[in-house]
Amino acid sequence: MGIYIFNIVLIFMWGTYYALLKSIKVKHAHFPNLNSSKDKTDKQFFSLKSIFLFLAFFQTYLILCMKNYSIGTDTVSYLSGFRMTMQIDWKEIFNFANDQLVFNFERGFILVTKVITIFTDNFTIYLSILSALMVIPLFLIIKKYSMMPFVSLILFVTMGFLNFYLSGLRQGIAISIVVLSFNYIVKRRIFSFIFLVTIAMLFHKSAMFFYPAYFLLNINITPLVGLFYFLFFVIFYVFRFSIIQFISTFIYSDAQILDTGAYTLFIIVFFTFIIGLLFYKKAISLNNDNKLIYNLIGVAAGLMILNTVSNTGLRLANYYFIFIIVFIPNIISSFDNKWLRHISTIIVVLFTTSYYFLVGINSNNVLPYKFFWQ
C-alpha cells in the first residue's frame, strides 16, 4: 500500500508547490521588474501548472507501467494475449470471420498489440506504451477543463479509476479516448466526436454507449429536466434487471446478473450530483462547458443503478462517471467565499482519500503492489 500512499502525498506536494508559486506570482503581478515579459501563463504548454501537473501525472504513469503482471485482475490475461499476438499472422488479424482471435479482445486492441510486438517482446515496454495511451488524454483534458487540476488527479486515484486502469487495459484506453472526445462535443464537431468514439470501440465495444453524450451539451437543467432525471433514476431502478440483461446482449452476453448490493458508488455519485445542482447557475456562469459535465454526471448516476445488479453497469457508467474528476473541482471553484472553497476542498480530499484506503484500494487485485522486477 506504501506506493499508493506515496503517490497521493506527492500529488499534494506538487499541488502545494504550484499554489505557493502562483500566489507569489500574483502578489508581484504589479511589479514589472519582478516579472519578465517572457513570463509563461497558465494557458501556455510549459506553464507552472503544466510542469507540476506533468510531474504528478508522470508518477501515476509509472505506477501503471512498472507494475508486476500479478497486479490487476486481468493483467495475466493481457500478458497471455500479448504472447499469443506475437504468434498470429497479420492476415489473421483482418480475418473477421474469427471473432475469438485472442480471447475476447477487440480488433483495434489486437492490431495495436501486434504493431508493438514488431519492436519489442518485453511486456513492461508494452505496458508503458498502453499506459501512455491511457494517461495522456487525461492530462490534456484535466489541464484544459479542470479549475483545480491537482484535486482532479487525486480524485482519479481515490475514486477508483487508477485501480481500474491497473486491471482493465482495453477499457482504460477506451475511456481515455472517450474523455478526449469531450473536446469535440464542446466544439460541436460531430464527425470528429463520432470518429473518436468509434476508435474507442475498437479497444472496447462498450464505448458505443457514449454516443448519446453528444446531445447533452445544450440541455439546461431546469426544474422540468430535473424531474426527468428523477424519473430516469426511478425507471432504471425498477427495471434494472431487464435493462442490464438487454444491454448485456451487446457487450457481455455471459455477464452474471444478480443483486450485488453495490450501492455505495451510486449513493456517492447521486448525492454529488444533487449537491452540485445547488450551485448550477453559478458554475454555468463561470464556464458554459460545465453544463455538459453536469449532464454527464446525471447520466452516470443513472447508470450506476445498473451496477447494483451487474458489474457491467459500472463498466458502462465509467464512460460518464470519469468526468466526476472535473465536476467536483469545478463546483468547488464556483463558491464565492475563498474559505468555503478551501474547507470544501479539504473535506472532499479527506473523504475520498479515506474511502479509497478503507474500501476502494481493495478492488481489482492491486495489493500488495509489486514492480516488474519483483
pLDDT at 36: 43
pLDDT at 254: 62
Q: What is the pTM of this model?
A: 0.91
pLDDT at 257: 74
Give dist(CA 107, CA 253) in Å, integer: 18
The C-alpha cell that represents 52 in the structure block: 507540476
Give dist(CA 77, CA 90) in Å, integer: 21
Percent of the chain whose predicted confidence (pLDDT) is above 70: 92
Query: Among 118, 119, 124, 93, which Cα is nearest to 108's?
Result: 93
Asked whether 143 and 149 are in contact (CB, 8 A), the reply is yes
pLDDT at 272: 92
Give dist(CA 161, CA 153) in Å, integer: 10
pLDDT at 249: 77
pLDDT tens-digit readout, 172-181 = 999 999 999 9
Query: Among 42, 52, 47, which Cα is nearest to 17's?
Result: 52
Cα-to-chain-centroid distance, residue 227: 28
Q: Could you tell me which residues come within 8 angstroms of residue 270 by beta carbon, excluding any fewer than 6 positions away? A: 233, 301, 304
pLDDT at 39: 44
The C-alpha cell that represents 53 in the structure block: 501537473
pLDDT-flagged residues of the chain (< 50)? 29-41
Give dist(CA 50, CA 232) in Å, integer: 39
pLDDT at 30: 47
pLDDT tens-digit readout, 287-304 = 899 999 999 999 999 999
pLDDT tens-digit readout, 260-270 = 667 888 888 99
pLDDT at 245: 84
CA distances from 324 to 58, 157, 219, 254, 327 (A): 21, 12, 18, 29, 5
Query: Among 317, 234, 214, which Cα is nearest to 268's?
Result: 317
pLDDT at 327: 96
